[in-house]
């Protein structure tokens, strides 16, 4: 039976939840396929995550391997293929709790970086799981800056082999997933040396474990890097190589080849490869970043209508905590953020599909823009969504702190997304570099890519809003965001110029501007996200109340951004103090409006109870029963040896005789 406090929230939805779900999925057919996949996965006990919060790192690893192996069988049974429509829902249905994800990266890197011959040899072996692959790039002392990698691969002409070495401890491979315990092979990135000359970083296929008994190969030292904040199910590993010899054919050689005599040959353009790395940043947004925030919102909002605390009106019963303005102000902007970035992701996917088509036609013009957008949005979306999950966790008070709420594991996992695939600050500076370049070009009247043409149109006007309702006009707020993005880019460009003109060296000047450059890059992405949300709402069908509620969320996303960052909008007087008060008033009004639809808005995300895996967020709202029943199953409720060993002697006072 559904908790009546939760049930009542569903009776007053202003829109069709089912229609909104279909919109998020991209159509009713997609919803049907997704649900079928979820049903098949969740009804299979091998994929259960029920005991996850009680398991050790070792148990999590073993379960993930078991699931990965079982998944092969399941896909065969269900007739799912890697190119089928179901495939993209499998990982989501498993909540990513499965091993061998790097095996796919191993295969992709061979497909992208390998010659036709290499592809023909290795891909079938990998597909049939005759080996387990990993991808060894990051080193203990080297991350983002690839040129700094220290592992070496020296070509030995006499034996037609590469000799791989880890020259010092900071050169150990560190972090590669599936490498700590599972992988038999890996793609190692190393500095290539031929006849004593360094040719820079290249990829090599290296076998690290025996295919017979899984023992480490000669010269290989590998293991697990130990406990982490999350990802207990993944055996992130270390790898140390001592004179490990591999045949010449194992250097992936689509773009660069070493001939038998040691001649080094470059061939073709690496731009497609560069594009592939860029798309990885976009591809992780849906599953690794948006889904956790959507889950956190579902949990926090359902809990907030079930939990009652203190009295809002004297004499009445205790109030649902979602009726407090401060609670609304915590969780509802996160809900708006989840929707906003869902649509941003659609926009980016479309842009990258277009980019891919252009690149296949050998037109690489879009690359710099795509790189800037993928870098900036990877950083901005991971940052906002991570902060959002943490806010949801804290908004649930003590119960949010229990692993059984599901929120801690969502937080500790999404946090990693701010670091992997490019640390956020470094990515934002890449975007900023593009912005500065485009701003200079635009100022000089040169053409710039579509997403930055607005930089050319520096306006010195004022925000035209006259009352608080004007701030519910997308034109008004989108223009305000645009103004801020232009101002931050242009003022930082000016500071950079001034420093250089005053004699500061270019690299020093750049470093002295980086805090402000990061601000400019964030403002650029925020502007595009707001603009895209507003344009998406514009195009939605007006039926079934969907457009109306999405418009509210768009307004909330935009006004929350202004309210949280008023200085940027007030700075040059574009927005006046009186207008800022209007923003605040409209923003607070919106909270009360969206609060009414809060539960239907999270119901539309369509998470099953099993996928939420949360005592606080289940669809029936029976929070307290679930917490109690679940806690009773905790291993901490088994007998502890601590009583006989320590408590009994203490209580029976042997201690005082010490």
Report if residue 567 touches a second copy, rule: CB under 8 A: yes
Joined together, the tokens standing for residue 424 give 């956020």
Q: Min. distance of Cβ 455 from a second copy in angstroms? A: 21
Report if residue 173 touches a second copy, rule: CB under 8 A: no
Phi/psi for 195 (5° steps) reads: 50, 40
Contact 485, 497 (CB under 8 A): no
Size of the site for a second copy (CB under 8 A): 133
Report if residue 51 touches a second copy, rule: CB under 8 A: no
Q: Is residue 177 annotated as involved in ligand binding?
A: yes
Report if residue 543 touches a second copy, rule: CB under 8 A: no
Q: Min. distance of Cβ 170 from a second copy in angstroms? A: 5
Buried b (16+ CB within 10 A) or exposed e, 355-369: bbebbeeeebebbeb
* Footprint on residues 386-405 left by a second copy (CB under 8 A): 390, 394, 397-398, 400-404
| Residue located via tokens 């501007």 | 513
Contact 146, 137 (CB under 8 A): yes
Where does this chain touch a second copy (CB under 8 A) — which range of 199-207, 256-264, 297-305, 420-428?
Answer: 420-428
Binding test (CB under 8 A) with a second copy, winner from 181, 233, 342, 483:
181
Report if residue 432 touches a second copy, rule: CB under 8 A: no
- Would the CA dihedral through 523, 525, 528, 530 be positive or negative? negative
Q: Min. distance of Cβ 540 from a second copy in angstroms? A: 29
197 SS3 class: strand
Joined together, the tokens standing for residue 99 give 């091993």
Q: Cβ closer to a second copy: 349 or 576? A: 576
Those residues whose C-beta lies under 8 Å from the C-beta of residue 427, and which sit 6 or more positions away, are 281, 375, 376, 378, 379
- Would the CA dihedral through 42, 44, 49, 54 be positive or negative? positive
Q: Cβ closer to a second copy: 491 or 547? A: 491
Binding test (CB under 8 A) with a second copy, winner from 114, 177, 180, 600:
180
Question: In DSSP terms, which residues pair with 192 in a beta bridge?
Answer: 153
Q: Cβ closer to a second copy: 176 or 355? A: 176
Where does this chain touch a second copy (CB under 8 A) — which range of 89-97, 442-450, 477-485, 650-658?
Answer: 650-658
* Footprint on residues 263-292 left by a second copy (CB under 8 A): none
134 SS3 class: strand
* Footprint on residues 451-510 left by a second copy (CB under 8 A): 505, 507-508
Question: In DSSP terms, which residues pair with 205 in a beta bridge?
Answer: 187
Binding test (CB under 8 A) with a second copy, winner from 568, 598, 604, 612:
568
Report if residue 619 touches a second copy, rule: CB under 8 A: no
Note every long-range contact of 539-544, with CB atoms under 8 Å and residues 24 or more positions apart, other chains counting. Answer: 540/23, 544/15, 544/16, 544/19
* Footprint on residues 56-75 left by a second copy (CB under 8 A): 56-58, 61-62, 65-66, 68-69, 72-73
Phi/psi for 269 (5° steps) reads: -105, 135
Q: Cβ closer to a second copy: 169 or 277? A: 169
* Footprint on residues 189-218 left by a second copy (CB under 8 A): 211, 214
Question: In DSSP terms, which residues pair with 153 in a beta bridge?
Answer: 164, 192
Site mask for a second copy (CB under 8 A), range 297-336, x = bound: ----------xxxxxxxx---x----xxxxx-xx------
Q: Cβ closer to a second copy: 414 or 550? A: 414
- Which listed residue (86, 232, 421, 479) is catalytic? 421
Site mask for a second copy (CB under 8 A), range 76-105, x = bound: x-----------------------------
421 is catalytic: yes
Q: Cβ closer to a second copy: 17 or 222? A: 222
* Footprint on residues 145-164 left by a second copy (CB under 8 A): 145, 148
Task: Identify the CA nearest to 410 among candidates 293, 507, 317.
Answer: 293
Report if residue 596 touches a second copy, rule: CB under 8 A: no
Query: How many other CB atoms are there within 10 angstroms of residue 652's CB atom?
Result: 9
Phi/psi for 511 (5° steps) reads: -60, -40
Q: Min. distance of Cβ 419 from a second copy in angstroms? A: 6
Contact 381, 557 (CB under 8 A): no
Distance CA 439, CA 78 (A): 53
Site mask for a second copy (CB under 8 A), range 229-268, x = bound: x-----x--x------------------------------
Joined together, the tokens standing for residue 288 give 């690794």
Q: Min. distance of Cβ 426 from a second copy in angstroms? A: 8
Report if residue 346 touches a second copy, rule: CB under 8 A: no
Q: Cβ closer to a second copy: 79 or 450? A: 79
| Residue 187 half-sphere exposure toward CB, CA atoms < 13 A | 24
Q: Cβ closer to a second copy: 530 or 537? A: 530
Q: Cβ closer to a second copy: 475 or 644? A: 644
Query: How many other CB atoms are there within 10 angstroms of residue 144's CB atom?
Result: 12
- Tell me how many degrees the CA angle 35-279-234 measures, rounded to the nearest 5: 65
Query: How many other CB atoms are there within 10 angstroms of residue 15's CB atom?
Result: 19
Binding test (CB under 8 A) with a second copy, winner from 271, 459, 543, 645:
645
Q: Is residue 127 annotated as involved in ligand binding?
A: no
> What would the DSSP string read from start to end of 3-60?
-HHHHHHHTT-SS-HHHHHHHHHTSHHHHHHHHHHHHHHHTSGGG--TTGGG--HHHH
Report if residue 48 touches a second copy, rule: CB under 8 A: no
424 SS3 class: helix
> What would the DSSP string read from start to end of 322-368?
GGSHHHHHHHHHHHHHHHHHHHHHHHHHHHHHHHHHHHHTT--TTHH
Q: Min. distance of Cβ 446 from a second copy in angstroms? A: 26
Binding test (CB under 8 A) with a second copy, winner from 511, 538, 543, 609:
511
Report if residue 167 touches a second copy, rule: CB under 8 A: no
Binding test (CB under 8 A) with a second copy, winner from 228, 259, 271, 459:
228
Q: Min. distance of Cβ 319 from a second copy in angstroms? A: 9
Active site residues: 421
Q: Which segments are annotated as binding site?
A: 138, 177
Q: Which segments are annotated as binding site for FAD?
A: 138, 177
């Amino acid at each position: 039976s559904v908790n009546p406090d939760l049930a009542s929230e569903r009776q007053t939805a202003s829109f069709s939840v089912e229609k909104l779900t279909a919109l998020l999925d991209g159509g009713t057919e997609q919803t049907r396929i997704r649900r079928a996949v979820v049903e098949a996965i969740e009804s299979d006990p091998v994929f259960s995550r029920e005991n996850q919060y009680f398991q050790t790192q070792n148990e999590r690893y073993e379960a993930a391997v078991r699931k990965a192996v079982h998944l092969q069988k399941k896909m065969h049974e269900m007739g799912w293929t890697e190119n089928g429509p179901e495939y993209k829902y499998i990982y989501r249905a498993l909540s990513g709790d499965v091993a061998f994800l790097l095996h796919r990266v191993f295969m992709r890197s061979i497909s992208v970086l390998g010659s036709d011959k290499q592809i023909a040899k290795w891909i079938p072996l990998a597909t049939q799981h005759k080996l387990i692959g990993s991808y060894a790039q990051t080193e203990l002392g080297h991350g983002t800056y690839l040129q700094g990698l220290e592992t070496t691969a020296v070509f030995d002409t006499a034996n037609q082999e590469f000799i791989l070495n880890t020259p010092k401890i900071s050169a150990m491979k560190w972090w590669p997933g599936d490498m700590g315990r599972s992988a038999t092979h890996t793609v190692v990135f190393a500095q290539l040396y031929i006849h004593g000359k360094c040719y820079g970083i290249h990829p090599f296929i290296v076998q690290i474990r025996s295919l017979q008994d899984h023992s480490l190969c000669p010269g290989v030292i590998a293991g697990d890097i130990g406990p982490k904040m999350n990802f207990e199910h993944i055996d992130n590993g270390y790898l140390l190589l001592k004179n490990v010899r591999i045949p010449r054919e194992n250097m992936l050689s689509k773009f660069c080849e070493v001939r038998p005599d040691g001649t080094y040959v470059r061939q073709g353009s690496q731009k497609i490869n560069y594009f592939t790395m860029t798309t990885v940043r976009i591809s992780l947004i849906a599953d690794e970043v948006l889904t956790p925030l959507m889950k956190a919102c579902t949990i926090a909002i359902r809990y907030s209508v079930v939990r009652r605390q203190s009295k809002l009106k004297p004499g009445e019963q205790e109030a649902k905590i979602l009726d407090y303005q401060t609670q609304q102000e915590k969780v509802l902007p996160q809900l708006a953020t989840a929707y906003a970035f869902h649509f941003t992701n659609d926009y980016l996917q479309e842009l990258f599909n277009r980019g891919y088509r252009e690149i296949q036609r050998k037109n690489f013009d879009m690359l710099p823009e795509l790189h800037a957008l993928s870098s900036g949005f990877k950083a901005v979306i991971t940052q906002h969504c991570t902060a959002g999950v943490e806010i949801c966790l804290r908004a649930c008070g003590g119960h949010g702190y229990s692993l059984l709420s599901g929120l801690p594991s969502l937080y500790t996992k999404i946090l990693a997304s701010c670091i992997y695939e490019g640390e956020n600050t470094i990515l934002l500076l890449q975007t900023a570099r593009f912005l500065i370049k485009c701003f200079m070009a635009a100022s000089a009247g040169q053409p710039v890519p579509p997403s930055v043409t607005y930089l050319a149109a520096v306006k010195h006007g004022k925000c035209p809003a006259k009352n608080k309702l004007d701030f519910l006009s997308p034109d008004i707020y989108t223009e305000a965001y645009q103004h801020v993005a232009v101002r931050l880019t242009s003022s930082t460009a000016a500071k950079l110029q001034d420093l250089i003109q005053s004699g500061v060296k270019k690299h020093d000047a750049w470093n002295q501007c980086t805090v402000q450059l990061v601000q400019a890059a964030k403002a650029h992405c925020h502007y595009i996200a707001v603009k895209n949300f507003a344009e998406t709402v514009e195009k939605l069908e007006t039926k079934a109340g969907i457009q109306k509620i999405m418009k509210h969320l768009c307004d909330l996303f935009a006004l929350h951004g202004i309210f949280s960052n008023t200085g940027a909008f007030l700075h040059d007087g574009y927005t006046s103090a009186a207008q800022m008060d209007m923003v605040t008033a409209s923003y607070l009004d919106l909270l009360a409006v969206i609060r009414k639809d809060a539960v239907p808005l999270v119901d539309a995300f369509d998470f099953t109870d099993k996928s939420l895996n949360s005592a606080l967020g289940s669809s029936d709202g029976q929070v307290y029963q679930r917490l109690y029943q679940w806690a009773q199953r905790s291993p901490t409720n088994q007998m502890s040896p601590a009583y006989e060993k320590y408590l009994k002697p203490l209580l029976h006072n042997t201690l005082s005789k010490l």
